[in-house]
Amino acid sequence: MNHQPSLLLSSNHNSPQSFKIGSLLSTPAPSQEQLMSVKALVDTAIAGDFIAVFSKSYCPYCKKAKSVLKDLNLPEGKEVKVYELDERDDGADIQNYLAEKTGQRTVPNIFIQGKHVGGSDDLAKAKSSGTLTKLIQV
């Protein structure tokens, strides 16, 4: 018989609630299959999208970066692909993998033609220095 340890919580001695230890303390780790799927999605986006932006819809830095990218004069047929992590079930796993891959935990996390640009401030610096114009040339 498999017994899971329990944690007893009670604010009223007459009605205790029992929870499995861990159920309140952490979320389950993603499965190996989920990790492979996340890695495939991120790696495919970085390699295949002209500009890939990993973002969160409510983030002001993401909005700023998306505005800068929207105003670029991209080569014909090229586009910006935005992945809103807060609107995806695997968003936290994607963000964790990006942190592992790039060392950057924050959003936006921007890639242009497979090259990691960084976040909003990095994009602004690249724009002001002229590097951004070079990065979008094909």
State residue 69's pLDDT score.
Answer: 97
Mean pLDDT over each residue of the chain, to the nearest integer: 84
Query: Is the residue at 29 inside a domain?
Result: no
Residue 124 has pLDDT above 90, yes or no: yes
Q: Residue 68 contacts by C-beta under 8 Å, 6 or more apart in sequence? A: 123, 124, 127
Q: Which range is least confidently modeled, 20-24, 94-98, 111-115, 117-121?
A: 20-24
pLDDT, tens digit, 9 for 90 and up, residues 10-67: 333 443 444 444 444 445 666 777 767 999 999 999 999 999 999 999 999 999 999 9
> Higher-confidence residue: 76 or 26?
76
Q: What number of other Cβ atoms are within 10 A of residue 116's Cβ?
A: 16
Query: Is the residue at 25 inside a domain?
Result: no
- Please report, rounded to a whole number, the percentage of residues in the chain having pLDDT higher than 90: 73
Q: What is the CATH number of the domain that holds 97?
A: 3.40.30.10
Domain that holds residue 123: 35-135
State residue 34's pLDDT score.
Answer: 73
74 — pLDDT class (breaks 50, 70, 90): very high
pTM: 0.76
Q: What number of other Cβ atoms are within 10 A of residue 13's Cβ?
A: 6
Query: Is the residue at 114 inside a domain?
Result: yes
SS3 6: strand
Query: Is the residue at 105 inside a domain?
Result: yes
